[in-house]
Chain A
Amino acid sequence: MSRFVLAQLKIEKPGGSGSCVADNDFCPEWIAENLDRYWTPLLEHLFLTIVPVVIGFAIAMGLAVLAHRRRWLTGPIVTVTGIFFAIPSVAAFFLLQPITGLGYTTAIVALVSYTLLIIFRNITNGLRNVPAETRDAAVGQGLTDRQLLTRVELPMAVPEIMAGLRIATSTTVGLAALAVFAGAGGLGSEILTDRYFKSNVVVAGGLAVLLAAVLDLALLGLQRLLTPWQRARA
């Protein structure tokens, strides 16, 4: 509660753009003066996106490789991660608090659970879309199961895996805005603090959109770097 009060006080401090702020308009001058205060929430938000995606990718990769070897596991894994995916995020942030308390841990656990289905599905599809003749040629030349996976199947699945990572990352940027309910900060906490002040909402929301776009572009660049063969045409 004290944060709310503090914020209210801050806004009522008369600045150079006093009347604009008082009228609750969109105030470029106020934004220019107060941009500094978004820096920490932005970094928190970046942290709340990258860490869950990286952990989610690691877990989903493990699960996908497991399901690739034992096909029957695919159904149960999709069901369980599907349930995680269906839990409303705000509910998840509150439900986890008795176990993990307030803070990053709760937020990250919840956010990881949302990435699993998306990334798992894409890795599985990518591995499954390797043509039978490619697999046959690989095995016929004496690649072991592990070599088949690491040298042929996974590299060929990179475009689909990266597509999954991009969706998961954009989704996580959006969901991380709600991590404030788990007490994990981020841009969502800035929005909530002054949620009736237009300029604040626009800046905090805009930064989240910008973050999603930048991360998406970065992943796209990485994908192009990893798959020169996709651009090669006669």
Chain B
Amino acid sequence: MIDSKIPPGPLDQKWTYYKGHCKLVNPANKRKLEVIVIGTGLAGASAAASLGELGYQVKAFCFQDSPRRAHSIAAQGGINAAKNYQNDGDSVFRLFYDTIKGGDYRAREANVHRLAEVSVNIIDQCVAQGVPFAREYGGLLSNRSFGGTQVQRTFYAAGQTGQQLLIGAYQALERQVALGNVKMYSRHEMLDIVIIDGKCRGVICRNLVTGELERHFGHAVLLCSGGYGNVFYLSTNAMGSNVTAIWKAHRKGAYFGNPCFTQIHPTCIPVSGDHQSKLTLMSESLRNDGRIWVPKKKGDTRKPNEIPEDERDYYLERRYPAFGNLVPRDVASRAAKERCDAGYGVGSSKQAVYLDYAAAIIRYGKIECGKQGITNPTEEQIRTLGKQVVKEKYGNLFDMYQKITGEDPYEVPMRIYPAVHYTMGGLWVDYELMTTVPGLYALGEANFSDHGANRLGASALMQGLADGYFVIPYTIGNYLADEIRTASISTDHPAFVEAEKQVSDRINCLMSIQGKQSPESFHKRLGKIMWDKCGMARNAEGLKQAITEIQELRKEFWSDLRVTGTIHEYNPELDKANRVADFMELGELMCIDALHRNESCGGHFREESQTEDGEAKRDDANFSYVAAWEWKGDSQWQLHKEELHFEVAKPSQRSYK
């Protein structure tokens, strides 16, 4: 049995209880303890900065050229917090409940409640750091709505919320670097963890500029390396986002939780051709004001503006009147796929739906005319003023759309289609964010913990910062308090030597294949298998085929890969080969997990398990657990189950109708 170490007491008292009873490390001892942080996104940068402030000796690593570039930076829409500044009925309980329900009852109650509790502190902390959130004319903070909720609790900075939050955390991190509490290693990639006497004691990293392998000791290691959506090749992730750090940990004993839980985001710019290297998200905040529709007539080839109002099918408003265009992501994505599969898709590929701002422009324009005292405004005046309001709210997103597609979204509706965006799965962690390897932690998207089978919009930023700023500073002390007598272990220890040799052997192996195909070409093929058979809809037969196909692809990879260049130089091809090799193993596990979970829940939609009107049908009697997979060797895993107990938020069929 795996122990999630949930503290005793009523749900809303657990975190308070924990904080009052966990062990502490005194300042003199903190100075002697070393902590390694892998990744410098919201979770990693906030953790490294906070632990540095506490006095631990921290080493932080990122593969980018600067910690400020981690992919948290691309988050657009906002960050949730139960501040109830809008007086619209929000509370910690509501945020907790929405998150559990949005996750389709596949997350751990105690973790989610803690997340909702600390959400309010995050906003305070960020504002104190100078994060320029949007404000009202009175000088107070502004909020907007997001999917899956009926209150306005999302804080934002135009369409660049992730950037502003990350810059805040990055600045806090650089301050600790200047103070000497954190040592920063950019252009470094973690390639293995080191375990000594059953505890994680360090990492092996590769300096990506020189190709040298390095050994680093730590009393504890924090993996904050983000999600693995790039297993699908095309996703909204950055090109460098990868699974390698958590996969290496998985192979060394850390269980992998719910690997198949993938979030497909409903509003992305559609694929334009085979050359496509990544997909671009259009923020969910656009669903606040935009209306999603397809023509009522199949295969309608008219231009969108030529289709009259009564010949448009606003299918989300039709199917889900209570939430309309603001249903959760999984529901919106499937609804778009359903319309396109049924032949109502638009654009040249027919794999797209419209996101239309015409109505919002008119609505805002009329309000502005009223404000400015313009009586009997012309249509042109209304449109001009309305466009100005929309530009202020979403300008940078509209610009981005125009740059990519060459179309003007103020004049014609945007074309959107779902794309892989986020992975709810990740390393299994207990309440303290520790994996099944003692001393090894996973924070942010790298862990599986808080979002169940579907994440609500604006909750990823919240979780990353909650883990880094407000959770790990307490929970790591509870472990390190027992480590104060452990002196730094020399990196000449046989465990370090052995781990480095394994890494080195594998790199030599990749370089020596000398086949014909590039890492990129294998990645593309893997992505296609995953998207076709383990994507938005999954069935047993397809998943079984996918497992076989991935195994065959892996064999081909290890016999026909070509990596150009040499080991001891800056070599992005080698970096990529290393990552693709891990993605292939992960892809197989994701299919195995998706196959075993014979129910639909959140983003995991098994075609065999749906209601009469095509909604996801959960099977609580058989699957109300976290699937935690233990690595047992090539293509072999053992399933462990963490049963989920819902004492407060009683599971019900999710309804947004």
Pair from one complex: no
